[in-house]
Every structure is written in C-alpha cells, then in structure tokens.
Amino acid sequence: MFVPEVAALGNSLNEIAELGPEAQKKLANLPLMPDNTVTSTVFELLVGAACVRRGLSVNMVPEDRAQKVPDFRVTGLGAIPGAIECKRRLGLSVYELDEARHVEALYRIIQQPLQERGMHCSVEATFSVPLRLVSAADFAKAVLGAASHSRDQDSQSTSWGSLAIRRLPYSDSVRRTRLYSPGFIQQVFRWEVLENEWDGLLCQVEAPRQTMVRSYRMPFCLKWRSESEEALTKRSRGIASLWTSAIKQIPAGEIGFVYIAYPEGGRPAIADARTRHILKSMEESWHRWFVRVPVMVICRLYPRPVHEGRPDLIESVLVGAGKGQEHWLTYLPWNVFTRQFDSSRDA
C-alpha cells in the first residue's frame, strides 16, 4: 500500500490545503505518527481531498479529548449541519493472523522430513475444522503418509479436512525475475495474486547465489485454505465494529456520512461472504434517533505487487444509502484512492 498511498497523497496536496489548518497540521506531522495513526490519517486526508474535488466545502475538525467529534464538517447541504467520519482497518484481523501462525507451525513440521526425502512438491491442504484444532502430529502423519516420489496424490479425506500432493519439477528455468517476486511464485508454484482459490502460501526453493534468477531447484510449498464455519464467519464480519464506532462520532442533530476502508486480500469465497455481510449490515443498521447517517461508502482495497514486485492498487467501492436517501449519492465522492483526476486535468 505504501507507494500507491504516497502517490495519491502527493497528487492531493492542493486539495488538502483547502481542508483548513488542522489538515495542514496532520499532513506535516505524518512522519512523527505511529504506523496505525499514519494510515488512518492518510485515509482521512484522501477522503477530504476527494470531497474538495467533488465540489464540497469541507473543513477538518481538530481532535477534542473531551468529546467525540467527526473528522470533517460539511457546509452547503442546506439547513442541517453535516459531518463526515472516516474509519480504516489496517492489515489482517487477529483471527486471520492466528490462522496464519498456526499454518506456519504446521509447515515447519513437514518441511525437514520431506526435504530429507528429496521431495519437491506442492502440498495442498483444505481445513474443514478450525485450524486451532488441527494438531501438528495429525497433520504430519497425513502429509508424510501421502507423499510419494512416483505419483501425485489426488485429494483425499483426513481427520481435519482434505489433502492433495502434486509433484513439482526438480529444477527448471524461469523468465528473469526477482526471487520470490509475484512473477516468480506464479511461474514456479502457479500462485496468482488475485482470483486465488487458496488462503495462503508458504514456499521455498534451494537458495540461489543472487536475488535475480533465471532458474530454480528443489521447489516446495504448502497451499492452504480454511473452510470451517467458524473461519468463514469470523472472516466475513470484520467491518461491523468500524461502522458502529464511526456513527458514534457524528454529533447529535447532524447528518453524517461514513467512509470505511479495509484491505481485501481474501479468495473470492471469503471476499464475497464479507461483501454479503456488509450489504446485510447496511440494510439492518441502526443508529441513534437524533443522528441521521443516510450514506456509507466502503472502499475495499486490493494492494497487489505485479511482475517483479511493482506496486499496484485496486479500489473496489460499495456505496449504500438508506431508503429514500439515494439523492445524497450525487453529492459525495465514491473513489478515494483511485480515479482522482479527470482527463483534462491529467493533460
């Protein structure tokens, strides 16, 4: 995310200057802030800049420890005062990080025994029970029992889900690229950055003498996905708390607009489940009767390195409006990180 965000921020300096002294102060203080504060502040500044480009009159509100205040005041919306509140989630959830750590431990259990056998293969594991319930002994027994030099192992049932093992070439050439770059893992391990059927990949090859490579030896990887009901539920419900926190920042008697951003790196089944939950939450959401929140804009961010590692960003936006409040969508910007300028300004 770093390079696309800095590019978007740099392209928005003129608009940020129109957000008032608080925005200028926060922009200047970015190098001094903790990591999580930097990312949330950048999102606030980019939302404000997008509003300026949309023609709205917005002003960033100074923080007040004595009371909760929104990120921006909006004028020109009629007799009702307006506010904008921004919330951003950074990185994976605690549940997803715990899953990844557990899989890493399982990988280490099978790594050395298979290397000692001279195995170069792709281990493909699907977990139908929560990963925390999968013991290292059960996992190793299933993998080591199925691994063979002479044949692939098609999907077979295990006590924790299912397992397949595909043999990989002992060595091969690749288009010149950086070791473990997106292009490298795509060529060697058939791993796509987007539109992937797996939740994660752990992989390795025999250490080469330099970072830029044209060939590889002894590839080994573990591809995994977690499909238990618990995992699907936990992963799909990571945004509701941001919405709840955001509406509490809207002052009584005002109309509020909420912007939420989060990274979406899950495989399509997870991303779609999360989207369905967000849309359902929009329909069922409630807030204090003396606060109106007619619109919520959700920026799903897909940061992805491509080729040898060039940074890229896809921004997919969900926009929700309360029944009868759809007219507000014509006032507000939708994309925050991308499509910032029209062709005439670009020229």
Question: What pLDDT is stored for residue 342 in this prediction?
Answer: 52
Tens digits of residue pLDDT in 263-301: 887 777 777 777 777 667 666 655 555 567 888 898 989
CB burial class (10 A; 0-12, 13-18, 19+) of residue 14? exposed
Q: What are phi and psi of 64, to 5 degrees?
A: -135, 110
143-180 burial, b if ≥16 CB within 10 A, otherwise e? beebbeeeeebeeeebebbbbbbebbeeeeebeebebb
Tokens standing for residue 276: 């369905």
**What's the CA gap between 259 and 286, in Å, rounded?**
16
**Positions of E strands within 72-184:** 72-75, 82-88, 121-127, 153-157, 161-167, 171-178
Domain residue ranges of the chain, discontinuous segments joined by +: 2-93+238-346, 95-227
Is there a contact between 301 and 337 (Cβ–Cβ < 8 Å)?
A: yes
Question: What pLDDT is stored for residue 80 in this prediction?
Answer: 72
The pTM assigned to this predicted structure is 0.81
Tokens standing for residue 144: 């080591």
Question: What pLDDT is stored for residue 252 in this prediction?
Answer: 79
Ranges under pLDDT 50 in the chain:
343-347
Question: What pLDDT is stored for residue 284 in this prediction?
Answer: 61
